Structure 1
Amino acid sequence: MTCPMRPISSGAEHCPYDYIKIYDGKDVSYPVIGTFCGMGKFPYSIIGTSEDLFVEFVSSPAGPLLNTGFHFNVGNWPGHVETAGSRNSTCDWLLTYEDLAASGDSEGIFLSVAHWYPPHTSCTYLIQGQPDQIVRLYFPSFRINRIESPIAVFDGDCGESLTLYDASWPDDSKIIKTFCDTFSRPMEKHDFVSTASALFVRFESKTGSYSGSSLYYWAHYDFFNNTHFGTAVEGTSCDEEFSSWNSVSGYLRSPLNTLVYKRTTTAPYLSCRYTFLTDRRLYARVILTINSISFKEHPYNVGSCNDCWGGRHDKLLAWEPGNGTRAPGGPGPGAHCLCRNTVLQRGVPIAKIVSSTESLVLELRVDAAHAASSYFKHPAALFEARYEFVHSPLCGPAVIPASTEGELHFPHYEALGYTEPPRSIRCIWEIRVNQDRDVWLHFDKVRFTTRDCEDGRLEVYLPSRADHPFMSICGHNVSLKEMPPLTSLDLTGPTPGESPSVKIQFIGTMTPARAAFKIAWTELFHLPRNPDGTLMTSKLTEVSY
C-alpha cells in the first residue's frame, strides 16, 4: 500500500489530524496566524507583530504514522522605528506636525509592514499639518517584489498596492500615485507634495502575508510653511499677486516654503514673481520698499553687481510691465536690478521704487545650480519688502507731460463726485520737463489742516537726489514756499533714457478735502553763453547790396 505524502498545507479545513497552530502573542487568546500540517519545508518565514509568538501542537488520537514530528527555528527581526504619531489600530497611524515637533526631529519616518497580516488588510497613514502648511513625502529606499508568502491566493494584478492621496482621506479624485506589486516601478528620493495641509497614504493587500509586504519602503515626511502674503497664482510654485482691492499696503518676503528651491527646471535660474495690480480709478501708483537682501555666497554671487542683469547672480528684478510681462534685458526707465553686493547704507532701505503706472513686477531669481544646496530648509528671508498703493483719484493725473507751463490743483475736485475722501492720502506727481530746459515752480493758495507736518506736508524731490526732499512745506512754514529755478542738471537722473522731471509728494493724515493748494510751473529756456559764462549777444547790422 502506498500512502501519498500530504504537502505543507494551511487552514483548519486541510489539517484534520496532526497540526501546529501559531498565535500572534503569548497564548491562545491572541489572534491565530495560521494552522499548518503536511510534510515538507516551509517556503517562507512567519513574523509576528510583537516579541511573542505562541505555538500549539495537536496530534491525531491515532498517533503518529512516521514518528517524525516537526522542527522549526526561532529568530528575531528588527521591530518598528519610533514613529512620531499615534496609532489607532495595528497599522493605522495619525502623524501630525505637533507630534513631530514634540519629538525634536526635523523629519518623520514610517516603514512598510514587516510582519504578518491577514487578507484584505488596509493600513493607513494620515499625515496632518497645520492650516498653512503642506506635506512632503519621499522614499529614501523603495523596492517592489513579487508576493512571496501570501495567505490567500490572488491571480489578478495589484494584489498589494500603496496609494498616495492629496487629501485627508482616500479621495479617488485626488490620487497622486499608486504603486502595485505587479507592474509599478519604485520611485526613490522623489518628492510627493500635497497642495493642502494633509496627505493620506493607504497600503492594501488582497492576499495577506505571513512575513511582510511585497512593497518594501522606508518613508520620510516633513512639513513646510506655505503661507502666502498675496494671492497665490494658480499653476505656479511661488508666484503671487497683490491687488489694491484686497489690501492697500502690506509686507512680503521670499517664499517661506523652501521646497520651491528644489524645483527642476531647464532654465538657468529659478524665479518667483510678485505682481502688484490696481485700478486707476482706485490708485495710480505702487511704492515698493526693499528693506533687506540676504543672498548666500556662491561662485556667481561673489562678483560686482555691475553685470546684475546679464550675470548669474541671485538677484531681485523690478520693472513696470507696460504692454508685456517679460522682464527687461537690461537697465532702463523704471527697471531695477539688486544683487548680494548692492551698496547699502545703514538705516536706509536698499531701494525704494515708485511706479509711474498702476502696476509693478518684482521677480526673485536664484541660480538653479545652487538653489537647493543654498536655500532648501534655509529659514532666513532672501529679501524683505513692503508695498503701498498710493495716488488716489483725488490726486488727479500722476504723470503730467512736458509743457512750457502748467498748473496742478489739489484736490482734484472732479473725483469728489465719485469717491469718498479717505482719512489719509498720499499723492506723488511727476512733472516732466522738456530736454535742456530749467523749470520754475510756484506754490500758491496752500492750505493745510494744522501746523503739524504729520498732518500734511508737501515735498519736492529731484532725480539727482531722489532719496532726500529738496524742499519740504508744512503748515508752520507755508509762507516759505518760494524756491529757486531748477536747472536741467537737477532734473536729470542717473538712469539713461529717463525724461527730465521733478516729483512732488503730498502726504496728509487728515481729511484731504480740508487741505488744498495750487502748483504752477514755467519752463525756462537756456540762452546761449560765451566760454566765459556771459550771455552771447549778436548785433544786427544793415547790409547794402
Structure 2
Amino acid sequence: MIIVDIIFDHSGKGNAATITSKKDVPGSYCGEIEQPQTFMSETSSVRIIFQTNNFTDQTYYSFDSRAEQETQVYLRYGQHPELYPNRRGILNPGSYCDRIFKECRLQTCYVQSPAYPGVYPRNLKCNYWLNTKNKFIKLYIQNEEFNVDGQRCENIITCPMRPITSGAEYCPYDYIRIYDGKNASSPEIGTFCGMGKFPHSIVGTSEDLFVEFITSPAGPLLNTGFHFNVGVMPGHMQTAGKKNGSCDWILSSEHLNQDHHTEGIFMSISHWYPPHTSCTYHLLGLSNQIVRVYFPSFRVNSIESPVTSDWTGDCGESLTLYDAAEPDDTKIIKTFCDTFSKPAEKHDFVSTGNSMFIRFESKTGSYSGSSLYYWAHYDFFNNTKFGTAVPDTVCDEEFVSWKPSSGYFRSPVNTLVYKRQGTVTNPDVKSLPIVCRYKFTTDIRLFARIVLRIESIQFKDHDYRIPIEKDSNCWYSERDKLLIWEPEETNETAFGVNRTVINQSNSNKINGLCLFNNINKTETTAPNTGGIKFISSGNSLNVELSLNPLYAAISYFTHDVPLFEARYEFVHGPLCGPSIIQPVDEGELIFPRFDAMGFVEPPKTLECIWEIRVHEDKDLWLNFNQINFVSDSCRDGRLEVYLPSRSADYPFMSACGHNATALKDLPLLTSKEVEEAPIEASSSSASVIGESSRHRHNGRRRRRYVHVRFVGNAYPHKSQFKIAWSELTHLPKNQDGTQRTARRTAADFDGDAECAFSCPGDKRLCLPARSVCNGVINCPGALNDESPSTCDEWYRDGHPRTASTSFGDYAPSSAVMLFGAVTAAIIVFGVALFAGNAYCRRRRPTSASGCRALADSRSSDLIYSTDY
C-alpha cells in the first residue's frame, strides 16, 4: 500500500495531481497490522494506492479519514500555533520534508518526522538545518518518545522491539543521523534508531546542527518517528583565553588583564564529544605569579550518555590537576574520577610556580557533556619573594649575606597565604596559626651582625577572647604579632635598639622582641629615626609573622596593604674585627684590622658596631686617639657612641672629621649610664619597651655595655682610629658624708684588690694595683696613673706606698731608669730612619720601590690590631 501526500496544481494543465515528495516512486507499506495506525498527512490531500500480487479472501484492508484543524493537532503544532507559524521550520521550496530552523529557542522549534504524530512515510530523505543564536545548540530529546524502525512487525515474539541504538551498523533501514555543524560534511555525532524514550539530549559545539532522516523504500505501517525541541545549553560563560583546536585552552593572566578581570571562569564540557577525548586548560601566569583554582560548584555523576559502552573499568572520565606547565605524573595535585572521587567544592588548589595544567579525559565520550560537572574559578597571585624561598613551605624566606647585603622585605605579597591554614603536609588543620618565617644568616667571614629596621606594622583589630589590657604574654598571645629573636644556640644576648613603643608586651625569649601594635610608616621614617631597630649580636636572626587563623582570611585575603615592612642590612665586616668585646680592666680597639685587608677587597661602604661590655658596678672611661677620617664630611665617616640607658634614636656622642677633637673630651661614663634601663610597666595598658626590656626577665640581671658605631661611605678602610678604655671603681661615700679613700696596703700589691689606687685627678675613682703604672693611662685628667712622679712613688723601694704615706724626697725608681732607656732607643731609631730616607732619595728611580715598601711597612706599624 502506498500513501502519498499530494497537492493539485491548476497552473495550465488542468487538474493534475503533483506529488510534493522528491521521488517518482514513493515508498510502500507492507506486512500486517492488527492494531489501528494513524497517518496524518502534511498536505490537504492524500492518495492511497493498494496493490497485491497474491489476492485471496484473507487479503483485505479498511480505513477511515477525517479532516482536522491545526489547533486540534496539539502534538504536532503545540499551543497557540498562530503565534509561531514557523515552529515546524520553513519548508525548503520544491521539497517534501526539508526544513530550515533559525534562531531557535525552547518551544519555538519542533523538529519532527513527516506525518508526526502518525506513522512516517517510506522512502524518505529529509534534511533539517537547525540554528540557535548562541553556542551549544541542544536537541531536547531526553525522555521523549522515539520510534524509528523500532518494530518490523506487530508480533513482539517474531519481531522483538529494537531498543534505541547508536551506530550505522545497527540501523540498516530507518534512522536519523546528526552532524555537529551546518551540513553532512561536519563531524558526525551519531546515527540512531530503535524504540523507547531517548535516554539523553544531544548538545552541539556551536550554533548549528544538521539532521538527516532516512527511511527504507518499504516497511511496516508501525513506526511513528520523532519529535525534538531545540534550544541552547544554559549556564555557559565566555572563557577569557586562547582556544587551540576543539577544546584546548591557554588561560593566562594577560588575557584577564586585557578584559579588565581579576579572575576567570571555565566550565566542564557541556557538549557532545567522541570517545578518547582529551581537553586541556593551561593556566599561565607571569613569572612572579602562582595559580589558584577552586570550584564553587562540583558534582560527580555516573556516565549517563556515553557514545560507546565498551569501557567497563574505573575512571571512564577523569579530571587531573598538575602543578606544572604540561602533564607530569610526578606533579599531580589531584585527580577526580567518575567512579570514586568526592567533589571538592570551595577548596583551593594552588600551584608552586606560574603554571597549572588541567586535563579532562574521557574514554567513553558523551552526547550531552561530562559526568564531572564543575564550575571552576581561577586567578593569579603575585608571589614575589624578597629572599630565597624555603622549600616545602608556603611563605618562609631566607636571606644570606653572600647575596645582596641589604634590602627590603615585607609580609607576603601573595595574600592567598592568609587564606591557607594548617601546614604543607596537612593544609586542612584549622587551629594552627598562619606563620611566615624569615631567616637571616651571614658568614662570619663576611659580616658579623644583622641590622633590622621595622618601618611599619598594620594589623587589624579583632574581637580576641582576651582583652589587650589582660594579655600580658605576647609570645603566647592569640593576637596577630611580629616576633624577632636570635637563635637560642647563640650564647650572646642580642642588642636591640627600639624607639619608645606603647602597648607592646614583654617577651618570653631571652633575646627576642614581640610586637603586636601598629606602627605608622610615615612616623618611623622621620629624620634621625629608623623605626624599631634591632641589631643582632651574632650572625643569625629570625623574624616571624604569626596570624590568628580565625581572622586571617577575613581580614587580610586580597588585602594589598603590607602587614609589616622592614629593611635589613648585614654589617660589621672583617675590617671591623670582633663585634663583642668581653669585660676587661683595660682594653683597646683599633680600626681597621689590617690583617683582614689581605683576605677581603676593601668595601666602598662600611658599618661597624662594637659592643664593649662592662663589669658590674664599674665606670668606663673611653679614650679616642690617633683619629684620622677620610674627609671632614660626616657622610664619608662618622663615629657614634650609644648608651643603653638613653634613647637609641640619638647617639650619646657623634663625631666626624670636622669635630674629631671632641672625642678627646668624652666624659667618664658611670655604671648607671652603661646599664640597661629597667622595665617600666603599669597596671594600665601602657608597657614601654626599650632595648633593655627584652632581656630582663626570668631573673636575669640587666646588662652593661657601650655601643660604638662607625659608618663610612667613601673609602672607609682609609679611616683610622684607636679607642682605649679603662674600667674604674667609683668609691662610695662614708656614713658621715666624707669621700671614702682607696686602700693602699701591702696586701693590695698582689693586684687582686679592685680599689688599691686612687686616681690623682679624682679621688672618687680608683684602680686595682695591676692597672697602675703599666704603660696605659687609666685615670682621666692631666694627673693620671702613668705620670713619672706617680710611678716613682708607687714603685719606691720595690713596693707601693700606703694611702697615708707622704710624698717627699726619693731616689730614682727603676721605672724612671726604664723610661730613660726607652727614650734613648727612640732617639737612636729616629736618627737611623732619617739617614735611611736621605739615602733613598739619592738612589736611582729603579730602587724607589724598595724604599716605598720600607716606608709602607713603617706606616703600618702606626696602628695595629689586637685579637680580643
Q: TM-score, normalised by structure 2?
A: 0.60
Give yes or no for contact 1:268–1:369 (8 Å, CA) kept in 2: no
String of CA shifts for 1:418-441, please: whole Å, max 9, x gaps: 222212211110100111111111
Per the TM alignment, residue 396 of structure 1 is displaced from its structure 2 partner at its CA by: 0.9
Q: Structure 1 residues 534, 377: closer, same or farther in 2, change over 3 A?
A: farther
Query: What's the Cα RMSD here?
Result: 2.4
Partners in 1 of 2:343 and 2:243 — Cα distance?
Answer: 26
Q: 1:519 aligns with which of 691, 714, 723?
A: 723
Partners in 1 of 2:476 and 2:363 — Cα distance?
Answer: 59
String of CA shifts for 1:422-463, please: whole Å, max 9, x gaps: 122111101001111111111011001111111111111111
State whether structure 2 residue 502 is matched by structure 1 residue 321.
no
- Hey, what does 1:183 align to over in structure 2? 340
State whether structure 2 residue 311 is matched by structure 1 residue 311.
no
Partners in 2 of 1:196 and 1:338 — Cα distance?
Answer: 32
Partners in 1 of 2:660 and 2:401 — Cα distance?
Answer: 33
SS of 1:525's partner is strand
Equivalent runs, 1:251-266 vs 2, <5 Å: 251-265=408-422
Q: Which amino acid aligns with 1:352?
A: K
Q: Which has the higher contact order (CA 8 A, sep 6+)?
A: 1
String of CA shifts for 1:185-237, please: whole Å, max 9, x gaps: 11111111111110011111111111111111111111111111111111211
Give yes or no for contact 2:179–2:190 (8 Å, CA) kept in 1: yes
State whether structure 2 residue 508 is matched by structure 1 residue 508.
no
Per the TM alignment, residue 264 of structure 1 is displaced from its structure 2 partner at its CA by: 2.3
- Structure 1: tracts of 5 or more residues without a match: 541-545
Give yes or no for contact 1:283–1:389 (8 Å, CA) kept in 2: yes
- Hey, what does 1:411 align to over in structure 2? 592
- Hey, what does 2:512 align to over in structure 1? 335
State whether structure 2 residue 374 is matched by structure 1 residue 210.
no
- Hey, what does 2:530 align to over in structure 1? 349
Q: Structure 1 residues 260, 498: closer, same or farther in 2, change over 3 A?
A: farther
- Hey, what does 1:236 align to over in structure 2? 393
Per the TM alignment, residue 27 of structure 1 is displaced from its structure 2 partner at its CA by: 2.8
Per the TM alignment, residue 417 of structure 1 is displaced from its structure 2 partner at its CA by: 2.9
Equivalent runs, 1:132-281 vs 2, <5 Å: 132-153=288-309, 154-265=311-422, 268-281=432-445
SS of 2:635's partner is helix
Per the TM alignment, residue 105 of structure 1 is displaced from its structure 2 partner at its CA by: 2.5
Give yes or no for contact 2:279–2:359 (8 Å, CA) kept in 1: yes
List structure 1 segments (4+ residues) > 6 angstroms apart after TM superposition: 537-540
- Hey, what does 1:296 align to over in structure 2? 460
Equivalent runs, 1:321-400 vs 2, <5 Å: 321-323=487-489, 330-331=507-508, 334-341=511-518, 347=526, 348-400=529-581
Deviation larger for 234-243 or 67-76: 67-76
State whether structure 2 residue 623 is matched by structure 1 residue 442.
yes
Give yes or no for contact 2:485–2:509 (8 Å, CA) kept in 1: no
Per the TM alignment, residue 310 of structure 1 is displaced from its structure 2 partner at its CA by: 3.3
Equivalent runs, 1:421-500 vs 2, <5 Å: 421-465=602-646, 466-481=648-663, 482-494=665-677, 495=692, 496=696, 497-500=701-704
Per the TM alignment, residue 311 of structure 1 is displaced from its structure 2 partner at its CA by: 2.2
Query: Counting strand residues as a fraction of each chain, which structure ranks higher?
Result: 1
Give yes or no for contact 2:421–2:433 (8 Å, CA) kept in 1: no
Q: Structure 1 residues 60, 250: closer, same or farther in 2, change over 3 A?
A: same
Q: Which amino acid aligns with 1:92?
A: D
Deviation larger for 268-277 or 61-70: 61-70
Deviation larger for 255-264 or 109-118: 255-264
Per the TM alignment, residue 537 of structure 1 is displaced from its structure 2 partner at its CA by: 6.2
> What is the total number of aligned residue pairs between the two structures?
539
Partners in 2 of 1:255 and 1:20 — Cα distance?
Answer: 60
Give yes or no for contact 2:176–2:191 (8 Å, CA) kept in 1: yes
Per the TM alignment, residue 475 of structure 1 is displaced from its structure 2 partner at its CA by: 0.8
Computing the radius of gyration from Cα coordinates, the structure with the larger value is 2
Per the TM alignment, residue 514 of structure 1 is displaced from its structure 2 partner at its CA by: 1.8
Question: Equivalent pairs: percent with the same residue?
Answer: 60
- Hey, what does 1:74 align to over in structure 2? 230
SS of 1:510's partner is coil
Q: Which amino acid aligns with 1:207?
A: T
Give yes or no for contact 2:181–2:187 (8 Å, CA) kept in 1: yes
Give yes or no for contact 2:448–2:572 (8 Å, CA) kept in 1: yes
Q: TM-score, normalised by structure 1?
A: 0.94
Equivalent runs, 1:9-24 vs 2, <5 Å: 9-24=165-180
Q: Structure 1 residues 302, 229: closer, same or farther in 2, change over 3 A?
A: farther
String of CA shifts for 1:28-60, please: whole Å, max 9, x gaps: 232221111122221111122233322211110
String of CA shifts for 1:460-484, please: whole Å, max 9, x gaps: 1111222211111111111222211
SS of 1:72's partner is strand
Q: Which amino acid aligns with 1:233?
A: V
Partners in 2 of 1:12 and 1:57 — Cα distance?
Answer: 13
SS of 1:295's partner is coil
Give yes or no for contact 2:282–2:358 (8 Å, CA) kept in 1: yes
Deviation larger for 33-42 or 46-55: 46-55
Partners in 2 of 1:416 and 1:7 — Cα distance?
Answer: 95
Q: Which amino acid aligns with 2:261?
A: D
String of CA shifts for 1:94-121, please: whole Å, max 9, x gaps: 1000111222232211110111111111
Partners in 2 of 1:538 and 1:478 — Cα distance?
Answer: 35
Give yes or no for contact 1:292–1:349 (8 Å, CA) kept in 2: no
String of CA shifts for 1:282-322, please: whole Å, max 9, x gaps: 11111001111111111239725854333222111111114
SS of 1:151's partner is coil
Q: Structure 1 residues 384, 538: closer, same or farther in 2, change over 3 A?
A: closer
String of CA shifts for 1:474-498, please: whole Å, max 9, x gaps: 1111122221101122111232244
Per the TM alignment, residue 369 of structure 1 is displaced from its structure 2 partner at its CA by: 1.4
Partners in 2 of 1:199 and 1:39 — Cα distance?
Answer: 46
Query: Counting helix residues as a fraction of each chain, which structure ranks higher?
Result: 2
Partners in 1 of 2:202 and 2:320 — Cα distance?
Answer: 26
Per the TM alignment, residue 505 of structure 1 is displaced from its structure 2 partner at its CA by: 0.6
Q: Structure 1 residues 537, 505: closer, same or farther in 2, change over 3 A?
A: closer
String of CA shifts for 1:168-199, please: whole Å, max 9, x gaps: 11122211111111121111111111111100
SS of 1:116's partner is coil
- Hey, what does 2:189 align to over in structure 1? 33
- Hey, what does 1:543 align to over in structure 2? none
SS of 2:623's partner is strand
